Every structure is written in C-alpha cells, then in structure tokens.
C-alpha cells in the first residue's frame, strides 16, 4: 500500500491512497484521490495490467463466494442452499468461471457524481466436454459496461457489432 500526501504553496491538501486486493480470486489495484480545493474524490479500480490471465474457479464456488460478498453488504442470501442446489445439477459443477476483467472509476465532486465501469465474467468448460442437443459448450462471456474509454473496451474485448461488420466489408 502506498500513500502520498502533497501540499502546495496555498496549504492545499491533496491525498492519494493506493492498495491492492483480491476480488473473486483476482488481484486488483485501487487508487483513491482527494483534492480539497475542488472537493473532488476519485476512485479507480482495475488490474495492474488489463488482459492479464485471471484465476478460474468452479461455477458453484464462484456463485457461493459472490453471494458471500453480497451478504457482507447486508443482502442476506443463503449461500449453502444455493451451492447445494447448484451442485445437484451436474452440469454446473463442471464449469469454470473467472472475473476476466474489472474496471471501475468513480468521481464525486461538490456538484455531481459520475461513474464508469466495465466488467467481464467468463464461464468456460472444464476438462470435460458438455454437449446439449448437439451443441458443444465452449465459453460464455458476460460483459457489462457504461464506459466509452476505447482503450479499456479494446483490452477487455468488448466488441461493437457495427464495428465488427465495418471491418469485414
């Protein structure tokens, strides 16, 4: 963890705190900045390098741990019941899941708060082949974002269908 406190000639206080933490099996870096003059606080959360290989977990464990996080914020869900029910469905226990990418930026000023985010979760087959009605399951990705930062979207492989089609004319 690094922290920097800087002062300028006008005794203006600015502060920054950096820390690293694990979220759903993946290491993320977070930075918090405060600018007293503007009254602005900023938070940035993302991996040190976008596109780094991420750790996988069994889908049932991922759901249980995700629910555990929700429980820690006061949203009461029975983790054991969900995990037990998912384990009864043989298919779910054979899938791996990973938090493929994460990006969060929040800026809160005196006037307004703005936020940007991009998250990608990937569900992949484990070591066994999964076939349903002749369709072999390989990978499912769920991407959710509101950021327009091109570098973030490109590194996270969040694709725009129109751009894909324009590149294949």
Number of domains within the chain: 1
**Number of other CB atoms surrounding residue 53 within 10 Å:** 8
* Local structure of 53: helix, strand or coil: coil
H/E segment holding residue 144: strand 139-145
Q: Are strands 13-23 and 57-58 parallel, antiparallel or unpaired?
A: unpaired
Task: State the residue range of the domain holding 145.
Answer: 2-166
In this predicted model, what pLDDT tens digit does every residue of 22-72 receive, in sequence order? Answer: 887 788 899 999 988 888 999 999 887 766 667 787 777 777 777 777 777
In this predicted model, what pLDDT tens digit does every residue of 60-114 receive, in sequence order? Answer: 777 777 777 777 777 777 777 777 776 777 666 677 888 888 899 999 988 888 9
55: left (phi over 0), alpha (psi -120 to 50) or beta: beta
């Amino acid at each position: 963890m690094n922290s920097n406190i800087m002062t300028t000639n006008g005794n203006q206080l600015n502060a920054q705190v950096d820390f690293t933490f694990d979220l759903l099996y993946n290491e993320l870096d977070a930075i918090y900045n405060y600018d007293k003059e503007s009254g602005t606080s900023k938070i940035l959360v993302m991996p040190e390098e976008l596109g780094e290989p991420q750790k996988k977990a069994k889908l049932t464990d991922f759901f249980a741990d995700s629910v555990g996080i929700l429980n820690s914020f006061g949203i009461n869900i029975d983790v054991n019941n969900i995990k037990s029910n998912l384990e009864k469905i043989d298919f779910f226990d054979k899938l791996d899941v990973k938090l493929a990418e994460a990006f969060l930026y929040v800026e809160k000023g005196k006037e307004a708060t703005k936020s940007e985010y991009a998250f990608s979760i990937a569900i992949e087959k484990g070591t066994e082949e999964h076939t349903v009605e002749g369709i072999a399951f390989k990978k499912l990705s769920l991407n959710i974002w509101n950021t327009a930062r091109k570098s973030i979207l490109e590194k996270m492989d969040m694709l725009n269908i129109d751009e894909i089609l324009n590149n294949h004319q």
